[in-house]
Structures are given as structure tokens and as C-alpha cells.
A and B are shown apart, each in its own frame.
Chain A
Amino acid sequence: DAMVIQNPRYQVTQFGKPVTLSCSQTLNHNVMYWYQQKSSQAPKLLFHYYDKDFNNEADTPDNFQSRRPNTSFCFLDIRSPGLGDAAMYLCATSRDLRGEYFGPGTRLTVT
């Protein structure tokens, strides 16, 4: 029944060591999003894909990259994680902007 799956649920990485978070969906939605969320705050949009079209938010650091090899999968790459990048990373999908369906998130710790 899982609709938006994120792996891993918890990720620990070292300062400066590249890390990749993954997201997959079984909903066949054409829009996929990556958000960063810090404690008890609203999710902050990093980027989104409409089909294969990539849309970067103006304030998303260059340190964050994304790939969407097909409709079902999307990856978030953090090239050189800093302590300030420790957060929950949420993947979401949407079909017609009548609601986004979020995954359970990946909690990233940077040591």
C-alpha cells in the first residue's frame, strides 16, 4: 500500500561527505518535490520536477542537486553536507495540485 517511499529513513553522514537520498512512488504522479524541514517548521521547497522538467528554487544552495531518471524515482544529492544541512528531507508527489502526497521522510544527521 506504500505510495511514496523514502530510503533510508535515517542517514548519518560526515561533514563534507556526499550523500544521496532516494524517493520512489507508486502513484504515477507526474510532479515530484523535495523539501527540507527543520524542527517544527514548515517544509521548505528545494526543487520540483514536472515530468522531466527540473525547477530549482532561487534560494536552494548549489550544494543540493537532484535527479529523476524516470517517473517513479527521484534522488536528492548533497555534495558536501554541512552541519546546517541536518534536517528532515521530505519527498512528495502530486498530480493536479489538489494535494501533495508525502513520504515518511529521511532524517539526516551530519557529524
Chain B
Amino acid sequence: TQLLEQSPQFLSIQEGENLTVYCNSSSVFSSLQWYRQEPGEGPVLLVTVVTGGEVKKLKRLTFQFGDARKDSSLHITAAQTGDTGLYLCAGGGSNYKLTFGKGTLLTVNP
């Protein structure tokens, strides 16, 4: 069974601060996705990374896939209140199923 450990589980910061969320596993994944979910809505796909060492940037968000494809990080620069939400990482394997981390509930305070 593949497991993804996501940390931290809760994060409360002030607007303008930087933060990093981590996703770690002992298993190799063929792809790694990050989602953001707002209350009462479905998760929205932010990014998919597939190559070991890959770095992708989406405005103030930077996503990194570890060289061995076992871990990933999401870094947010100068957080805004609109970044508040549940961030989920999910690893893709060969069986068309995703393995989700437990999520990071981010609150950005004004």
C-alpha cells in the first residue's frame, strides 16, 4: 500500500508570509498532483509533476518533485487571504487510482 505523508496538517500564517507544505512517501509515484479545495467545493487541480527534479511555478506557487519521485513540496510566496484552503497532494501510480495525503488546512490571516 502506497502512503503519502503530508505536513503540516494545519498552518495559520499572516498575509505576506511565505510557507512550504511537504508530501513524503517511501514509494515511487509516476506523477504527483497538488490540489486546492475551498469549503463546500471540489478540489481544483493546481499542477501535475511527472519528472524527478521537476520544478513548476504558478504565479506565487512553486511546486517541486523530488529527484527520486517519492516526495514533493509546495512553496507559497507572500501568502494572500485568497490562498486559504485545504491543500492536497496526490500520487499517481499505474492503476488509475490516486493516493492522497491527509491535506494541509491553510489559513492566511489579514
Contact = CB atoms under 8 A, between A and B. Distances in A.
Contact of A48 (B40, B41, B43, B97): B97
A29 B102 CA distance: 26
B12 interface: no
B96 A102 contact: no
Contacts, number: 58
A41 B102 contact: yes
Determine chain A's interface SS by DSSP, over half rule: strand
Given A102-B43, A105-B41, A105-B42, A43 B92 contact: no
Contact of A42 (B33, B88, B93): B88
A100 interface: yes
Interface of B: 30-31, 33, 35, 40-45, 48, 50, 86, 88, 90, 92-93, 96-98, 100-103, 105
Interface of A: 4, 6, 31, 40-43, 45, 48, 50, 55, 88, 90, 92, 94, 97-105, 107
